[in-house]
Amino acid sequence: MCFVWLEMSTRRLHCFLEHWSVQPLPDVEWQHSDHWQSPPLHFNMSHTNSLVACGVTGGSPIGIDVEEKQRAVKNNILSLARRYFSGPEFEFLSSINDSEAQHQEFIKLWTMKEAYVKALGVGFSGSPFKTFTLRFTRSSERSSLVNLNSDYKALEIAVDQQDHPKKIMSYWQFALIELDGSHYAAICTKKGEVSKSIKVWKTVPFQEDVCVSGTDAVVEVN
């Protein structure tokens, strides 16, 4: 799996995908019909005012979302959580007394939920945030998180769907990482279908791309 953050034009996106595809750009199918089948290469994009991110996998749908850690929230955090999040998630945020910590947990949850619905391919309207809960549990084995470090043990993230309360959507795996100390990036892919190793690249227009995996620029959030 490859993840890159950059300021990216449409042409740069085409060049990036061509670089990671086994086929040259002219053979990549950009449009589809009713009989269209997804290609081996999957990608998803997200952006903020200061950053654009693109995640690429081979063989698995991917959802990605990026948010500024200090993103301004116009309304009260708990008012937004009550409106958009599930009951258990609202209760979790309500239990946090420190306002800055509460703000950070809200941004993390929003980012991961956004990545999940994008991985499903339905977006916010197709799977409203209230209809599912992100649940964190201790894992006795290596976590289902998509890890930057394959030996990393952390919290397991599962998805509970309200329309199927007895069914835990455990076939999705998540990564939550911090970029340059200023942004959160959440990545969601199908469990077991892609490598748990993420290669992270940073690119600036007209400069050479730099692999920043394993550096202080990329920190996994647990």
User: What does the alpha-carbon distance between residue 175 and residue 214 come to, in Å, rounded to a whole number?
Assistant: 15
Residue type, 151: D
Tens of pLDDT, residues 182-211: 999 999 888 776 556 788 888 877 788 888
Taking the mean position of all CA atoms in its chain, how far away is CA 90? Answer: 21
CATH class of the domain whose range is 2-30+37-220:
alpha beta
Tens of pLDDT, residues 14-24: 565 565 555 45
> Residues 6 or more apart from 216 whose CB is under 8 A from it?
none
User: What does the alpha-carbon distance between residue 8 and residue 218 come to, in Å, rounded to a whole number?
Assistant: 19
Tens of pLDDT, residues 63-118: 999 999 998 887 799 999 999 898 989 999 999 999 999 999 999 999 999 998 89
Domain spans of the chain?
2-30+37-220
Mean pLDDT of the residues in the chain: 75
Check residue 96 and give its pLDDT. Answer: 95
Check residue 72 and give its pLDDT. Answer: 85
The mean-pLDDT minimum among 29-33, 63-67, 177-181 falls in 29-33
Higher pLDDT, 11 or 215: 215
User: What does the alpha-carbon distance between residue 106 and residue 85 come to, in Å, rounded to a whole number?
Assistant: 10
User: What does the alpha-carbon distance between residue 23 and residue 84 come to, in Å, rounded to a whole number?
Assistant: 41
